[in-house]
Amino acid sequence: MNEQQMKVGLSMASEQKSKLFKKRWPKVVLIIVLVLVVSGIAGSNYQDRSKQAEATRYPPLGTMVEVEEKQMHVYAQGEGDMTIVLASGHGTENPYVDFYPLHEKLSEQARVVVYDRFGYGWSDQTSVPRDIDIITQELHTLLHESGEKGPYLFVAHSIASLETIRFAQIHPEEVAGIVLLDAGNPTFYETYETPSKAAQKIMQTLKNTGVLRMLSHIDSVTDTLLQPEEGYGQHIPESLKKLQLAMFLKNFSNDTVIDEMLHLQSNAKKVIEAGHLGDLPLIWFTSGINQQAIQGWSESQEALAEWSTNSKQIILDSAGHYVHHHEPGLIIEEISNLTKALLQK
């Protein structure tokens, strides 16, 4: 066979393969689609069955209260003339676990309340828009319906600064003071660029189809899921880690949580428009790491002083965003001192 004949033969073989591929590729694509669909259905069933089992394994530690025809969870312990209310940040899968380094000690000297906003902890999800006034009203109803009476000293982490400041604006007679844990100034959140809804929906799909749950069986993945930053969880007992993981796989990036983030800028604007807090006692802890890592964080934290004429900033140089996991002792001491001072008035 000469060179020309070889070229012709190879060309014919290549053409035959091309025709064969074109004939088969729809079937290949169909098989791939079917595999993905079946895997998605199987993964979703796995996720749903696991959630049901975990709901039985980890019943609410506090009380379920009806709020706007839905169920909200509130956990309370301790006794005292001051009620300390702990408000969690965005995406905190279980506020009870997250605030464990604080509420176990604070409850020895005061009444301490940890609540789950809709979409968090043991609370239901809701389709009601996450407007700040709605969130604040839900909190007000929850506290009153559960019998938790003021005056309230709010301790708020991250974006919970918005609902606690708004609560004080609407119900000033019920609020004795506010402590912020690396919580944003409303002026910072007003221009904060939030993740796109599409990106958040992708993460939700990974959860709903069981992908995150399957990956969570890998120790390194579990550590990543449960430790948003280095040092987080060092004061949480091992007995609560499985509860924390179960709540993450239940609540992560659900529709209510996504809608809350999408309302961040408009909620901040509403809080700003309502004005400052007069001489309401205000203490805020600032993460030294965030001061260096986030543009504008340091300046906006300093500007929190404008929200009250009775204010104090404490900078924790080596602490990350979850300051209550890095310096719980110092934070408890400051809250205790403020509580005593407020009760002596």
Overall domain count for the chain: 2
Q: Is residue 34 very low, low, confident or very high in pLDDT (cuts 50, 70, 90)?
A: very low
Do residues 93 and 182 both lie within one domain? yes
The amino acid at residue 280 is L
Place of tokens 């696991």: 50
Do residues 129 and 192 both lie within one domain? yes
**Higher per-residue pLDDT: 10 or 68:** 68
Q: Is residue 21 very low, low, confident or very high in pLDDT (cuts 50, 70, 90)?
A: very low
pTM score, whole prediction: 0.88
Q: Is residue 160 very low, low, confident or very high in pLDDT (cuts 50, 70, 90)?
A: very high
Do residues 82 and 25 both lie within one domain? no
Do residues 171 and 319 both lie within one domain? yes
Do residues 261 and 123 both lie within one domain? yes
Do residues 160 and 277 both lie within one domain? yes
Please give the share of the chain, as a percent, with pLDDT higher than 70. 88
Q: Which of 33, 57, 81 is the last residue in one of the domains?
A: 57
**The 3-state secondary structure of 228-251, one letter per residue:** CCCCCCCCCCHHHHHHHHHHHHHH
The answer to whether the CB of 103 falls within 8 A of the CB of 133 is no
The answer to whether the CB of 232 falls within 8 A of the CB of 322 is yes
Do residues 45 and 114 both lie within one domain? no
What token pair was written down for 141?
């109803």
| Backbone φ, ψ for residue 230 (5° rounding) | -65, 135
What token pair was written down for 295?
């543009």
The CATH number covering residue 69 comes to: 3.40.50.1820
The answer to whether the CB of 204 falls within 8 A of the CB of 258 is yes
Range from 17-26, 92-101, 125-134, 227-236 carrying the lowest mean pLDDT: 17-26
What residues make up the domain containing 309? 64-343
SS3 state of residue 115: strand
153: Cα within 13 Å, side-chain hemisphere? 25
**Edge-to-edge order in the sheet of strand 83-87:** 63-67, 70-77, 111-116, 83-87, 152-157, 175-181, 282-287, 311-316
Q: Which of 18, 39, 57 is the last residue in one of the domains?
A: 57
Do residues 116 and 175 both lie within one domain? yes
The amino acid at residue 28 is V
- Is 16 a residue whose pLDDT tops 90? no
Q: Which DSSP state fits 73?
A: E
**Helices marked H in the chain:** 3-57, 95-98, 100-106, 132-145, 160-170, 186-189, 197-208, 211-215, 219-226, 241-251, 255-262, 264-274, 288-293, 297-302, 323-326, 328-343
CA distances from 62 to 84, 90, 125, 133 (A): 16, 21, 17, 25
Do residues 132 and 273 both lie within one domain? yes
Do residues 2 and 69 both lie within one domain? no
Do residues 92 and 239 both lie within one domain? yes
- Is 32 a residue whose pLDDT tops 90? no
- Is 37 a residue whose pLDDT tops 60? no
Q: Which of 38, 57, 76 is the last residue in one of the domains?
A: 57
Do residues 44 and 161 both lie within one domain? no
Q: State the average pLDDT over residues 299-312.
A: 98
Nearest in space to 105 (alpha carbons), one of 329, 327, 314, 285: 329
CA angle, residues 34, 40, 46, in degrees to nearest 5: 135
